[in-house]
Structure 1
Amino acid sequence: MNVVAIFDIGKTNKKLFLFDEQYQIVWEKSEQFAEISDEDGDSCEDVNRLRSWVTTSLEEVLRLPQFTVTAVNVSAYGASIVYIDKDGEPVGQLYNYLKAYPATLSEQFFGNYGPEVELTRQTASPSLGSLNSGLQVYRIKYEQPELFAKLTYALHLPQYVSYLITRWPVSDMTSVGCHTMLWDFDRQQYHRWVTDEELDGRLAPIVASDSVQAATVDGTSLQAGVGLHDSSSALVPYLASFQEPFVLISTGTWCISMNPFNNRPLTPEELQYDCLNYMHYKGQPVKSARLFAGYEHEQQIKRLAAHFQVPIDQYVRVGYNPKTIERLRHQNSQVTTDADAKGNQLLSMKGSLFGQRNLADFADYAEAYHQLILDIVAQQLISTNLVLAGSPVKRIFVDGGFSKNPIYMNLLALAFPTIEVYAASVAQASALGAALAIHSYWNSHPLPGDCVDLKKYTASVTVH
């Protein structure tokens, strides 16, 4: 059986899948690695363990007698860079994108290349410290000059994993174009600061995201993709399945609203609310807005469980009750202030009003949980509207955790009465996207049009 092998590298789980020519998963393995510490004692990915796992796992599947692996590609988390020397060996650490960024270095950077509001607009990157991966390379240059001297290429993580297979150092736009502060969207080239700091020579040549390179592994010839940033990769099955304009709300720890049909430049105000551009694997910007709503949900269900003396997963037993929503809407204020709150902290990182609510005001757990989701959806409305503005979107697809939450889905349908709202499910969307991106290089069948299962929600009822 001809198959494509896909590495799907998350921060928590490292996975390898084999997809057949109908894009069904026919084999998989998953592993979790303990993090190690960098020289400052901050946790980071163990790059040597990752390298060894990728190499041995690929050799393992090539030896499976029931499959012929004809191609391989990678989906991996973003904002993370591996530094390699002239021999392709990693130097330094694979630093965590949540590592605190030194204020003095940030001031130096914006002092030389700002003002901040203009630089963030040009690069479509909210100012996020280490989450702006270009600033990680800038930091190495000024804080670790000996390491910088050894550095031949700084590769984003998806391209590093691909490099382990191909030995072909490249950069790809789904990584370079995503809140890195590297790319000038006005001029469609690296920003002036990158060339002024002479970092462009340390960034491998940019190739198309759906490029492949012939590689030989363990005597087997393969077509190897260059790797995709996982958020961009997860969008590919939707782009393959739907031609009409849509917004995808990908829900997990972050709820990311992505609109591939809105190419208006980001405004300074949108950047303040954590709007950013992801990059479509064909190279177009995807206007996106992030909300830390999954994280808030995780924290608040713990608070609810403790207060009402119920199990932490009690919320899964709570069905949608329109009467409860109606009653809560009349007695409680909704989130109207956060849209105008111009603090230093981004809207996306703020909790909803629920964190300030007194749980003793609610009759029972179910009522309190309805209020939590009401407050989260009120913020989701603000966030998603940022990417909807001015584009002809007729449908919203929700995937991930909240797509299985009937209260969230019904409230979202109420919040967007003129748009069709669907819970969408795609098995392993980011891995599937990486497989679809190189379809023409390994699969002679037509692209499948049925990758996505949909369930439609209307204002108060669910239709299958």
Structure 2
Amino acid sequence: MSQTVAVLDIGKTNVKLALFDEGRLLWEQAAPNCIRSGPPYPHEDVESSWNFFLDALREAARSHQIGAIVPTAHGAAGALIGERELAAPVMDYEFTGVDEIEPDYVKLRPPFSVSLSPKLPAGLNLGRQLAYQKWRCPDLFAKARYFVGYPQYWTWRLTGVAVSEVTTLGAHTDLWVPRRGQISSLVEALDIDHLLPPLRRAFDPLGPIKPEIAAVTGLAPETRVFCGIHDSNASLLPYLVSRQAPFTVLSTGTWVILMSVGLSLDQLDPRDDTLANVDVLGRPIACGRFMGGREYAIIAGGSGNPDLDAMERVIASGAMALPCFSGQGGPYAKAKGVIRGEVAARDRPALATLYCALVSDLMLTHMGATGGDLIVEGTFAGNPLFCRTLGALRPTQRVFAAEDAAGTARGAAMLAQWPPSYHIAEPVPVDPISIAGLDSYRKAWTAAVDMIAR
């Protein structure tokens, strides 16, 4: 039975409300996601996001009959909640102050061979955030009744029901053992097992919205709210139900997350920032990640997609962008990004495109993802030259572009009817392309990158 699903999509850069009916985008509205400087540390401005969602739901409900709500949110965020409100602010994962606890934290975190969660900078390991909050903010921590992943914070806000969910617990948190499907030794070491509410599946309905939310928004009191999902895993859902392994999805936005379904976990290496995430059914998925969207913006210095002529001018000039421009993510996060050679301003987007394609190619190779289709979804799917360059770098694999900027939200909407009975739109195959000088350029770029100390 058809129903309109509202997705609360909380990204690192923007928050969005999107409405879907059997995979068709009906309506959407977005706003910037704000970070407050503190105290007690930089944190998500959840009240601004909450007010945005209430206003957007009210507006959407005037013209659409919404039957379900599904939250999805970026990783490396979670909420300590009390009886009725947050016990502590939701930490911004870019807060570097957590580094001060590293000498004590490293003694507790499980080894990579167990957690498949590499040591990441700042607060990108959610377990490190929790340790910091417990050790540096004990008064706030003592008020917590539960700790929930960020998607499940919004579920709790809508329903009052607190739950845990595996795609968030398994997203480089140090809190999960992917191969065993259970919490890690860190939970006991931090003595926080009592804070983890019962585990539910991302597609489980948890109850109707609170009466006061129905009154404020005009939504029907029986509107169902589903558990919710980590955003990169939401991007993966359409392909889990429509394709056979092996295949890799490049979920692109602020981050580029490379998720290889059907790939062995044996080649994962924490030095490469490769790891295992966990899919909606609890299965470990080999992944790599780098902050491609942010790096692209820094290198490009402007907007607009490049063309092939610009790409070939950059290659002919020998100019190179060498990692890392974001300070986090990928095999060379500790290196300081640099542009070697002269590049005209009009060609900077081509340089940025080439850089992101080369880093993606390098990470896929390190992961052992040499077979199966490559599907680009999100921001970079709207950059045809990125998709075609990736295809030229990896000629034995077919590249597809998901012509859909709402891929994360569309995937999350599927949870309201899982597995979906409706048709899943196929991504568009990318035509092969020959780029003059690309092979030689890649060899020179790889040699230059190999000189960078990790």
TM-score (norm 1): 0.81
- Aligned AA for 2:78? I
Residue in 2 aligned with 1:246? 247
Deviations 1:136-190 (A, max 9, x none): 1111211122212211001111001011222110011110000111012344311
- Aligned AA for 1:174? T
Deviations 1:27-71 (A, max 9, x none): 22323354323214x542222333444455445545x3x533221
Q: What is the SS of the residue equivalent to 1:235?
A: helix
Residue in 2 aligned with 1:15? 16
Residue in 2 aligned with 1:439? 417
- Alpha-carbon deviation of 1:322? 8.3
Residues 251, 402 of structure 1: 8 Å contact kept: yes
Q: Distance in 2 between matches of 1:172 and 1:80?
A: 13
Q: State whether structure 2 residue 280 is matched by structure 1 residue 281.
A: yes
Match of 1:67 among 41, 64, 89: 64
Residue in 2 aligned with 1:38? 38
Residues 406/120 of structure 1: CA separation in 2 closer, same or farther (3 Å cut): same
- Aligned AA for 1:89? E
Q: Distance in 1 between matches of 2:52 and 2:316?
A: 54
Q: What is the SS of the residue equivalent to 1:94?
A: coil
Q: Residues 339-418 of structure 1: matches in 2 within 5 Å?
A: 347-349=331-333, 355-359=338-342, 373-389=353-369, 393-418=371-396
Q: Distance in 2 between matches of 1:29 and 1:377?
A: 30
Residues 420, 457 of structure 1: 8 Å contact kept: no
Q: What is the SS of the residue equivalent to 1:316?
A: coil
Q: Distance in 2 between matches of 1:437 and 1:76?
A: 14
Q: State whether structure 2 residue 233 is matched by structure 1 residue 215.
A: no
Residues 308, 385 of structure 2: 8 Å contact kept: yes
Residue in 2 aligned with 1:297? 296
Residue in 1 aligned with 2:441? none
Residues 292, 348 of structure 1: 8 Å contact kept: no
Give unmatched runs, 5+ long, in structure 2.
215-219, 436-454
Match of 1:122 among 105, 109, 114: 114
Deviations 1:381-440 (A, max 9, x none): 211123344x7x321112233333344333211211111122222241111111112214
Q: State whether structure 2 residue 197 is matched by structure 1 residue 204.
A: yes
Q: What is the SS of the residue equivalent to 2:223?
A: strand
Residue in 2 aligned with 1:27? 27
Q: State whether structure 2 residue 432 is matched by structure 1 residue 458.
A: yes
Q: Distance in 2 between matches of 1:59 and 1:407?
A: 40
Residues 373/76 of structure 1: CA separation in 2 closer, same or farther (3 Å cut): closer
Residues 377/327 of structure 1: CA separation in 2 closer, same or farther (3 Å cut): same
Question: For this pair of structures, how many residues does the alignment match?
Answer: 423
Q: What is the SS of the residue equivalent to 1:88?
A: coil
Residues 320/254 of structure 1: CA separation in 2 closer, same or farther (3 Å cut): farther
Deviations 1:83-132 (A, max 9, x none): 111x2311221111111144442111223x35xxx623321212124111
Deviations 1:177-236 (A, max 9, x none): 001110123443111121132211111111112211231543521332101111111111
- Alpha-carbon deviation of 1:265? 4.5
Residues 358/98 of structure 1: CA separation in 2 closer, same or farther (3 Å cut): same
- Aligned AA for 2:287? S
Deviations 1:13-37 (A, max 9, x none): 22212212x3212222323354323
- Please give the root-mean-square deviation of Cα atoms over the aligned residues, in Å: 3.2
Q: Distance in 1 between matches of 2:200 and 2:89?
A: 25
Q: Distance in 2 between matches of 1:436 and 1:234?
A: 10
Q: Distance in 2 between matches of 1:60 and 1:403?
A: 30
Q: Which structure has the larger Rg?
A: 1
Give unmatched runs, 5+ long, in structure 1.
303-311
Residues 210, 282 of structure 1: 8 Å contact kept: no
Residues 238/160 of structure 1: CA separation in 2 closer, same or farther (3 Å cut): same
Residue in 1 aligned with 2:444? none
Q: Distance in 2 between matches of 1:276 and 1:57?
A: 36
Q: Distance in 2 between matches of 1:382 and 1:33?
A: 31
Q: What is the SS of the residue equivalent to 2:118?
A: coil
Q: Distance in 1 between matches of 2:113 and 2:285?
A: 15
Q: Distance in 1 between matches of 2:173 and 2:411?
A: 22
- Aligned AA for 1:349? A
Residue in 2 aligned with 1:305? none
Deviations 1:342-377 (A, max 9, x none): xx9952536798x24121xx6x66777655544443
Residues 214/368 of structure 1: CA separation in 2 closer, same or farther (3 Å cut): closer
Q: State whether structure 2 residue 109 is matched by structure 1 residue 110.
A: no
Residues 256, 290 of structure 2: 8 Å contact kept: yes
Q: What is the SS of the residue equivalent to 1:49?
A: helix
